[in-house]
Structure 1
Amino acid sequence: MQRQKAVKNVFELVQSDLKAKTFRTDYPVSEELRQVMVDEYIRDFMIYAIDEYYHDENLSILKELVDDLQPSKEKRQGLLDNLFWWHILYQSTRKPKLRCMDDYIAQKKHLLRVEPFISSWLKECNSAVPKFYYVGHKYNDRAFVAIDILAEETMDVVVYDPSAVPVKRGEFIAGTLLPLGGGLFFPIVDFYHFNYEAREAIACCIHHHYEKYLETSTLHEAFIHVLSVMLQIERIKSMENHNKTSSENPSI
């Protein structure tokens, strides 16, 4: 009897989201509504943001930053994609602000006037911060538990992009997670996946560097500083692994 009541309460919460005025990260959202949120609105917002801001001026700045970070050739585009969204979200916190999300919502006001839930959710997405995560339990290639390294909290993650690189349990990843309600999140673009052999070295020092940079930086700024250090560690470990392989196999 109690179980039936609990199920009924959850059902009512899910259904209420369709009529709600405010998005709440702790309230579950129906699968149908999640599909609308991701497939229609986030995809449309991404197209808008790319059309408006993915141009020569911003790209030149981001490409210089990628050059400084020195990722491997095959990971360069993935890093650039993540940094673009970091840039959009970071600039929205500064003065004067980059009003990308606000301008998008204003452009869609004729639709969002009758869908205040979506408008509230988009504003919540605009407050997302890129972070580092450790991959815990893995349900499948598109659903897993991520541990927020900074907050030390677990998060259920679903990946909608069919071309995204499947995560490995125990690896470190970096990216921007957006909320879907009910404690569920999804990445706006595929994560940056750190090399598996670097995970122990990253685990040993990532908290130290975060604490160091957060003393004088915002969360967005600290992310870039820590990312730079973690990429250096990844590069060093990759070189060590290459040298070890070469010494064991001189013919390579």
Structure 2
Amino acid sequence: MAVEQKVISIQEKLKDLAFEEIGEIFNFSSVYYGVYLLGLVNDFIETEQIPEEIASALVPHLISWVVFSHRLSDEKKSIFEFYLDSPKYKSRMKPKVHTLISEWKYALPGVYNIEGFLGERVLVLKDIILMKERLVGVYNEIYHLPKESDLLIGYLLPAGDSTYFPIIDFFHIPAVHKKQAAYRIIEFYNKAETTDHEFFVRYYPKLLSIISSVIK
């Protein structure tokens, strides 16, 4: 039992160290790519006609996509991948933490049904597009407990022990809009002639736009 508790303690410490790196990633993005990020945000709001009251909640999710998935103009890398190559990356010399954080290059956003709660900050989620179930622990300081009937959208990062955690708090789609949002998202997905990975890399802003049009 003592050995098992020690293993759990080490894994939790690894998660904590990895989660702390998220703030550094966004600081790096702001300092070196702030103007670029702002341009994409403004284009998204204007092109998709996102109302101000909805934009304030959706824009952080757009920024997460830009940082972790969007390929920069004339480049084949995301901002996150540039961060991993930069001197600012603090966990390079911590092999176990680095191994975990490196896996985030393959993370994708998703739209999730809540299958159940194992605690206020432990959820079982199922992606309505990829139909994959995830056990999720929430570490974020800002966290609004969703209702079980909500549809959630956001990024889940692997935590190294077959569990996941969100980059930022989820965006909640309430039950009154859930059916229509899910239908339109899946309809759009089925019409896209791409791989699953490429779909999210290319079309995640469009999913955010669909959600905005449903709930506004």
Q: TM-score, normalised by structure 2?
A: 0.82
Q: Does the 8 A contact of 2:69 with 2:78 survive in 1?
A: no
Q: Can you give the 5+ residue segments of structure 1 that lack an aligned partner in the other structure?
A: 19-28, 236-252
In 1, distance between residues paired with 2:135 and 2:38? 32
Question: Residue 30 of structure 1 aligns with which residue?
Answer: 11
Question: Residue 148 of structure 1 aligns with which residue?
Answer: 127
State how 1:21-170 maps to structure 2 within 5 Å: 30-39=11-20, 41-55=21-35, 57-92=36-71, 95-98=74-77, 100-105=79-84, 106-108=86-88, 112-113=92-93, 115-170=94-149
**Higher Cα Rg, which structure:** 1
| Alignment deviations for residues 214-243 of structure 1 (CA, whole Å, 9 cap, x no partner) | 4486332232333323332223xxxxxxxx
Q: Can you give the 5+ residue segments of structure 2 that lack an aligned partner in the other structure?
A: none
Return 194-203 or 65-74, whichever deviates more: 65-74
Question: Residue 158 of structure 2 aligns with which residue?
Answer: 179
In 1, distance between residues paired with 2:133 and 2:78? 31
Q: Does the 8 A contact of 2:111 with 2:127 survive in 1?
A: yes
The count of aligned residue pairs is 213
Q: Does the 8 A contact of 1:132 with 1:172 survive in 2?
A: yes
Q: Does the 8 A contact of 2:67 with 2:78 survive in 1?
A: no
Tell me the CA shift for residue 71 of structure 1.
4.2
Q: Which amino acid aligns with 2:33?
A: Y
| Alignment deviations for residues 32-63 of structure 1 (CA, whole Å, 9 cap, x no partner) | 22111112x222222222222233x4313212
Q: Does the 8 A contact of 1:66 with 1:79 survive in 2?
A: no
Return 183-192 or 60-69, whichever deviates more: 60-69
| Alignment deviations for residues 98-122 of structure 1 (CA, whole Å, 9 cap, x no partner) | 4533443331578523x22222222
Q: Percent identity?
A: 21
Q: TM-score, normalised by structure 1?
A: 0.71
Question: Residue 189 of structure 1 aligns with which residue?
Answer: 168
Structure 1 residues 33, 227: CA separation in 2 closer, same or farther (over 3 Å shift)? same
In 1, distance between residues paired with 2:38 and 2:208? 19
